[in-house]
Amino acid sequence: TASRVAAAPEDPLFGLAKAYREDPSDKKIDLGIGAYRDNNAKPWILPVVKKADDAIHNDPNLNHEYLAIGGLPDLTAAAQKLVVGAESPAIREKRICTLQTISGTGAVHLGGLFLSKFHPLKPTIYLSDPTWANHNQIFTNVGLNIAKYPYFSAKTKGLDFDGMVQALQAAPTGSVVVLHACAHNPTGVDPTQEQWRAIAAVMRERNQFPFFDTAYQGFASGDLNRDAWAIRYFVEQGFEMCVAQSFAKNFGLYGERTGAFHFVSAPGSDASEANAHIASQLAILQRSEISNPPAYGARIASRILNDPVLFAQWEEDLRTMSGRIQEMRRGLRERLEARGTPGTWDHITSQIGMFSFTGLNEAQVQTLRSKWHVYMTKNGRISMAGLNTNNIDYFAEAVDSVVRQ
């Protein structure tokens, strides 16, 4: 039977990373995978992470035992506060449960699996068009149907707000809607607070179920609370909802696979009991799949989140990352405008977070790769963190050249 299995295509992002590594050119630029790089194009260990890591190595009380099925309690409690706010009614009323997961991917999966097993309606999962490519396969793999809602306007290179709202109005009641909490991947385009309010109003009216994915808290604006605004607003509005939270980008803990899944129950007299039942079912799903989550990254994140001095230093490190990215946005826009590169480039600075959706088409992306050794996904997304003061002129020259072709 093994011979009947057709070959699968290579993962686009990891395939791109491999092609970049194998390119011998010294001019090459990696704008593919969303991982922060410093001004020398090197991975950056956050100074606060280094500090927490050193403390862990020197802690005689630590061992290599299993964590609980739900993960490290100090981490999950802190992760809740980080995402919904320490004063959230969901925490006070004990109607939020949290399990530590294999980063954001594991959290999206656990939520998807839970919905596929326990949601009475077998709902369709609505994904933004475009979205992080992995969303499609994670939800499909657990047997859920997926559909798209318009999100990006190719014309304005901003949010297609009307298209999105109309699609939600037309989507069946009870549908699950995946929303990127901030720094939308791949477009870098977020709704304004006013637009979020309107989205929530439609979803409330249609009795739809929000499933937030938050992988860039602190990375979008540099302010952790601001970046959690949409999630907190939906909690305030009394939605029952899921939140998948990744600590890969904001702690620079990519390989440690640290994250959390939260289920928030709607307010009500039996909310706390209902939420406890959900937590117990999630624990069984988790046990059958990963038994219990990995300890190392969780210990690092937990130390930082629970220590006010380290927390303040973390906020500083987040500002370092988001600040450098913003500088690169300004630098790229300035250079393209100075060259008179055909088209408009203001979207480079109005989009936020790790990515910019440049508007370059597939043929242009191909030429950038074959002729200029610049690597980005074929939808024209660039990871802004791959740009730095050493390569930004070359990149602007390359973009200018392919746009004029």
The interface mask with ligand LMR, positions 28-47, x = CB under 6 A, is -----xx-------------
Give the Cα separation of 246 and 145 in Å (integer).
24
Cβ 250 to ligand LMR shortest distance, Å:
12
Q: Catalytic: which of 213, 317, 345, 372?
A: 213
**404 forms bridges with which residues in the sheet?**
none
Q: Which of 185, 214, 292, 358 binds ligand LMR (CB under 6 A)?
A: 185
Q: 368: closest CA among 32, 34, 37, 39? A: 32
Q: Which of 13, 19, 202, 403 binds ligand LMR (CB under 6 A)?
A: 13
The residue count for binding ligand LMR (CB under 6 A) is 6
* Residue (234 or 375) nearer to ligand LMR, CB: 375
* Residue (51 or 257) nearer to ligand LMR, CB: 257
Cβ 354 to ligand LMR shortest distance, Å:
8
**97 forms bridges with which residues in the sheet?**
263
* Residue 162 is a catalytic residue: no
* Residue 44 is a catalytic residue: no
Give the Cα separation of 130 and 339 in Å (integer).
30
Q: How far apart are the first and last CA of the chain?
A: 49
What does the block give as tokens for 222? 């540099």
The interface mask with ligand LMR, positions 133-162, x = CB under 6 A, is -x----------------------------
Give the Cα separation of 356 and 185 in Å (integer).
9
* Residue 345 is a catalytic residue: no
Q: Which residue is nearest to ligand LMR (CB)?
A: 34
Give the Cα separation of 218 and 224 in Å (integer).
4
Helix (H, G, I), strand (E, B) or coil at 199: helix
Question: CB of 188 within 8 A of CB of 132?
Answer: no
Q: Catalytic: which of 44, 132, 196, 314?
A: 132
* Residues known to be catalytic: 132, 213, 249
Query: Would you tell me which residues interact with ligand LMR (CB under 6 A)?
Result: 13, 33-34, 132, 134, 185
